[in-house]
Amino acid sequence: MQELTADILSRVITPRKSHSHKGDYGRLLLIGGNENYGGAIIMATEGAINAGAGLTAVATHLINLTALHSRDPEAMFIDWRDQHLPELIRKMDVIVCGPGLGVNLQAKKVMNILATNVTEKQTVVLDASALDLISQDHQLIPAKGKLVLTPHQMEWQRLSGLRIPFQTDGANLAAFKDLLLGREAILVLKSNQTRIYDLFGHQAINPIGNPGMAIGGSGDTLAGIIGAFIAQFDYSFDTISAAVYLHSLAGDIVYKDNYVVKPTALSKRLPELMKKYCAKERKM
């Protein structure tokens, strides 16, 4: 099992070209945030924007509009009941679905719209409630496109049937293969030592991060960061590993002087860290 180091950041984070525009850094749609969990989708949005997504749109419950825009004016908004949602989904490069989505009928409708509109070229990151919904109904797994699954150990237990003490590398990989046979997919199994697997034999473990990050919203933020990284640097095992590593590195910096790592504080550290570890900047 490969241990991630800071080298992964310099390999993935490339300098921006002068001759470029927002369209070159990816169109990202985040879906989630019901009446009770609006904070989850806002934290995912802060992760995504601070990690550099070119354009970020958010499909959420209408009740979250003012809070979202007052925190993150960079994000565009769509009511998730809007009839234009399928069209918007098809225009995106990357879709992150699940933070604060919930599991009620409306959440299932949204997942169904996603599952039937994703195209081959797109990547879908499934997190949180979206993972619980696909545990209940595998038909809700998007039929096309590349997939990234980001369960914590309890979500993985529900999805794979593997109880937490039995989540060994061999068992995880076998369960992941069973679930997504023949698909291009990456599993990010979150814990105090997050493990990343693909179906081609790549495996990595993240040795950094800290218990200050054990707070609601840490994973929502990571989902946004992963979405932004794929939007800018393309889908690969390294891109997703770099996003996981950066999330923990930012968390460790906040943790140096703070007992808890507020996810919004973690997100604020991302732009400076990306600048610091960007390949060319490092050589200068």
In DSSP notation, 104-158 reads SHHHHHHHHHHHHH--TT-EEEE-THHHHHHHH-GGGS-SSSEEEE--BHHHHHH
The annotated binding site for AMP is made up of 190-194, 219
The annotated binding site for (6S)-NADPHX is made up of 40, 100, 152, 220
Does residue number 99 form part of the binding site for ligand NAX (CB under 6 A)?
yes
Name which of residues 68 to 87 contact ligand ADP (CB under 6 A).
none
Does residue number 220 form part of the binding site for ligand NAX (CB under 6 A)?
yes
Could you tell me which residues come within 8 angstroms of residue 116 by beta carbon, excluding any fewer than 6 positions away? 86, 143
Which does residue 39 touch among Mg ion, ligand NAX, ligand ADP, none (CB within 5 to 8 A, set by kind)?
A: ligand NAX
Does residue number 258 form part of the binding site for ligand ADP (CB under 6 A)?
no
Whole-angstrom distance, CA of residue 105 vs CA of residue 153: 25
Part in contact with ligand NAX (CB under 6 A); list of ranges 66-74, 98-106, 199-207, 267-275? 98-106
Name which of residues 113 to 142 contact ligand NAX (CB under 6 A).
128-129
| Residue 32: both structure tokens together | 């989630």
Closest residue to ligand ADP, judged by C-beta, is 219
Instruction: Say if residues 154 and 192 touch (Cβ distance below 8 Å).
Output: no
Name which of residues 121 to 180 contact Mg ion (CB under 5 A).
128
- One residue of 56, 129, 218, 267 binding ligand ADP per CB under 6 A: 218
Whole-angstrom distance, CA of residue 240 vs CA of residue 222: 10
| Residue 47: both structure tokens together | 């992760």
Cβ 261 to ligand ADP shortest distance, Å = 9
Which does residue 129 touch among ligand ADP, ligand NAX, Mg ion, none (CB within 5 to 8 A, set by kind)?
A: ligand NAX
Which does residue 194 touch among ligand NAX, Mg ion, ligand ADP, none (CB within 5 to 8 A, set by kind)?
A: ligand ADP
Cβ 127 to ligand ADP shortest distance, Å = 7
Residues 243, 19, 226, CA angle at the centre, nearest 5°?
10
| Residue 168: both structure tokens together | 């060994």
- Residues binding ligand NAX: number (CB under 6 A): 17
Smaller CB distance to ligand NAX: residue 26 or 32? 32
Instruction: Say if residues 188 and 244 touch (Cβ distance below 8 Å).
Output: yes
Instruction: Say if residues 45 and 68 touch (Cβ distance below 8 Å).
Output: yes
Cβ 68 to ligand NAX shortest distance, Å = 12
Whole-angstrom distance, CA of residue 120 vs CA of residue 45: 24
Does residue number 153 form part of the binding site for ligand NAX (CB under 6 A)?
yes
Name which of residues 219 to 248 contact Mg ion (CB under 5 A).
219
Smaller CB distance to ligand ADP: residue 161 or 211? 211
Could you tell me which residues come within 8 angstroms of residue 210 by beta carbon, excluding any fewer than 6 positions away? 248, 251, 252, 255, 261
Could you tell me which residues come within 8 angstroms of residue 15 by beta carbon, excluding any fewer than 6 positions away? 278, 279, 280, 281
| Residue 137: both structure tokens together | 């109904």
| Residue 204: both structure tokens together | 């990595």
| Residue 103: both structure tokens together | 């599991």
The one-letter amino acid at 62:
L
Residues near ligand NAX, by CB under 6 A: 37, 39-40, 99-101, 128-129, 152-155, 191, 216-217, 219-220
Residues near ligand ADP, by CB under 6 A: 128, 152, 190-192, 194, 209-211, 213-214, 216-220, 222
